Amino acid sequence: MTTNQVLYLLGPEKVELRREPVPRPGAGEVLLRIEAATTCGTDLKVYQRGGHPRMLSTPCPFGHEMTGTLAAVGPRVTTWREGDAVVVANSASCGQCRFCRAGRENLCTHLLYLNGAFAEYLLVPEPFVRRSTYSRPPGLDPALAAMAEPLACVFHGLSASDLEDPTECIVIGAGPIGLMFVAELALRGHHVILGDLVPERLDIGRRLGAAGTVLVWGNREDGNRLLAATEREQGAQLVIEATGFPTAWSNAMEAVATGGEVVLFGGCAPGTTAELNTHRLHYSEITVKGVYHHRPATVQAALDRLAGGNLRLEHLLQERCGLDGVESALKRMASREILKAVVFS
C-alpha cells in the first residue's frame, strides 16, 4: 500500500489517471479501500461540462457512488474499525441548521460533498465518517451496494409524493434513475408507464416492472403520447420526470391527472427554463415538486432495500471496467450504448 491510482477530471471531456501517495487518515478520518464504484448520469454531466456548480471544480478527483472496506482508521474514530465493509454517501450535512433539524438534510446550509470514487483509496473526512458512512449489509454484492446513493435519491424523490395506495404512475426517462423509479414503484404495487427514446431501455423497464411503455420522440407531443397510454386517457396520478430536459418538464404537466402530482427529479442545465401549462396547474390543482439529492434516512432505506434483493438492479450494470476504462464507459453512456458501468480498482 504505497501508491494510489486516482482518476482526475481536468476539464470538459479531459481526464487523467494519476499515481499519488496513499493518504493517511488523521483525527476522525478513515481510509476507504474502494471495492466498487459505479458511473452515473451526474458523472457524465460532470465529465462533459468539466465541473458541477455544487459538487466539484476542476482539477479534482471525481466519481461518487462507492463501497469498500476500511484500510485504516484515524485517531478518535470509535464507531468503525479496520476491515469494516461500508458504503460512504457523497454528501454530509451539518446536523444543526434549520433544514437538518427539520429532517431535510439534503438542503443543509453547509452541505459538503465528497468525490473521488474512481480511485483505489479515498480519504474520508471526519464529517462523512460521522454522518455519512453506513455498514454494508452482509452478503450484498459490492457492485449493487455502490448504487445505494442513486437509489437513496429515488427514495427521497418518492417521499415528496403523497401517494399511499397503488395507483397509475408515469416515469419519463429510462436512464438509471428513471429505471430505479420504475423498479421501486412497481415493487410498491403501482401501475407504471415508462416513456423513453430508446427501445432497448424500455425493454429493461418492462423487466423491472413497467406495466406499459411509450416510445417518445423528445418533443412537445410526448405529453399527449404519454397521456394516451393511461387508463381512459385521463393522465397518471403521479408523473416523475427523470431526464433533466425542459421539454420533458413541460410534458410531465400534460400527462398528469387532475389533482395529481408531478415530481421534477431530473436536474436541468443552469440557466434553462421550461414552459408549464398554467391553466392546468391552476384549474386542475396540480401539485408540482422539485426534488434534489438524498437524506441519511433514504440512504439507509436504500441499503435495506438492496439487501432484500427485490429490485434486480443488476440489469443497469452493463459494463465492467478498471480505472483506465472509466472514460470509455462515460462515452458509451453518452451514446446510450450502456446505462451504467461498475468500476473495479
According to DSSP, residue 323 is labeled G
pLDDT of residue 1: 59
Instruction: Please state, in angstroms and rounded to a whole number, the distance separating the CA atoms of residues 210 and 94.
Output: 38
> Are 31 and 71 contacting, i.e. CB atoms less than 8 angstroms apart?
yes
Please say whether the beta carbons of 161 and 238 come within 8 A: yes
The closest of 223, 159, 186 to 315, measured between CA atoms, is 186
CATH (residue range 161-290): 3.40.50.720
All 3 cell numbers of residue 196?
423513453
Q: Are 302 and 159 in contact (CB under 8 A)?
A: no
| Axis-axis angle for helices 296-308, 148-159 (nearest 10) | 110
Nearby residues of 158 by Cβ (< 8 Å), 6 or more positions away: 181, 184, 185, 263
Q: Whole-model pTM?
A: 0.96
Instruction: Reduce the DSSP state of residue 182 to 3 states and report it.
Output: helix
Cell, residue 135: 455498514
Q: How far apart are CA 159 and CA 204, in angstroms?
A: 24
Reference 19, options 10, 9, 11, 7; nearest CA is 7
pLDDT tens digits, the chain, 345 residues: what are they?
A: 589 999 999 999 999 999 999 999 999 999 999 999 999 999 999 999 998 878 888 999 999 999 999 999 999 999 999 999 999 999 999 999 999 999 999 999 999 999 999 999 999 999 999 999 999 999 999 999 999 999 999 999 999 998 889 999 999 999 999 999 999 999 999 999 999 999 999 999 999 999 999 999 999 999 999 999 999 999 999 999 999 999 999 999 999 999 999 999 998 888 999 998 999 999 999 999 999 999 999 999 999 999 999 999 999 999 999 999 999 999 999 999 999 999 998
Q: For the beta carbon of residue 38, count every other beta carbon within 10 angstroms.
A: 29
List 319's β-bridge partners, or say none: 341
Strands 60-61 and 112-113: unpaired
CATH C-level class of 3-151+294-343:
alpha beta
Maximum distance among all alpha carbons in the chain? Answer: 65
Q: How far apart are CA 167 and CA 15, in angstroms?
A: 45
Residues 192, 157: Cα–Cα separation, whole Å: 16
- To which H or E segment does residue 125 belong? none
Task: Look at residue 274 and give its three-state secondary structure.
Answer: coil
List the chain domain ranges: 3-151+294-343, 161-290
